[in-house]
Amino acid sequence: MAKFVYRMQNILNLNEKLEEQAKMDYATQQAVLNEAEEAEEALKKRKEQYEEKARRIRSDDFVKVRDLIENSQAIEIMGGMIEEQHEVVKKEESILEVKRQALEDAMKERKTQEKLKEKAFDEFKAELLMEESKQIDQLTSYTFGIKKQKSDN
């Protein structure tokens, strides 16, 4: 019996490897984005702590102007750091979107190749059935011819 060989198997294998690489790139970028988001959240919490400290300083009976100034400067600095980190997060999100699109494209390519392989396999099975049918017809004709010859003799 004939064995099915997909003539573009090397392309399918390549597409599978490209998809795996795209998955790894996407996962790596997702981790980078998660880190950037966590850093932004940490900065926001730190700013909240400074704001809470400012409330405590203002509620004290004895207020030090120096403490208020230092605290308000710290809050301003944290605000700037949060804005910078937010820009980093947005940049990482855009990179992640590019990686997602690349992964989606790689998946489409692999699926296309798999469908082509399935179609080629279906054609192969149809050819086998036709060949088998042809052989059966030949065998039937041969046995019928032999029986006819024996009956004529």
pLDDT at 148 over 80: no
* pLDDT tops 90 at residue 138: no
Question: Do the beta carbons of residue 15 and residue 116 sit within 8 Å?
Answer: no
For position 129, what pLDDT does the model report?
93
Measured over the CA atoms of residue 105, residue 108, residue 109 and residue 110, the dihedral's sign is positive
Give me 129's structure tokens. 């059935």
Contacts of 12 (CB under 8 A, 6+ apart): 6, 110, 113, 114, 117
Is 106 exposed, middle or buried, given 0-12, 13-18 or 19+ CB atoms closer than 10 A?
buried
Q: Where are the domains of the chain?
A: 10-109
pLDDT digits (tens, 9 = 90+) for 80-121: 999 999 999 999 999 999 999 999 999 999 999 999 999 999
Mean pLDDT over 122-149 rounds to 87
Q: Can you give the pTM of this predicted structure?
A: 0.76
pLDDT digits (tens, 9 = 90+) for 1-57: 678 999 999 999 999 999 999 999 999 999 999 999 999 999 999 999 999 999 988
In this prediction, residue 64 carries a pLDDT of 85
Where does the pLDDT of residue 61 fall: very low under 50, low under 70, confident under 90, or very high at 90 and above?
confident
Residue 6 tokens read as: 């997909």
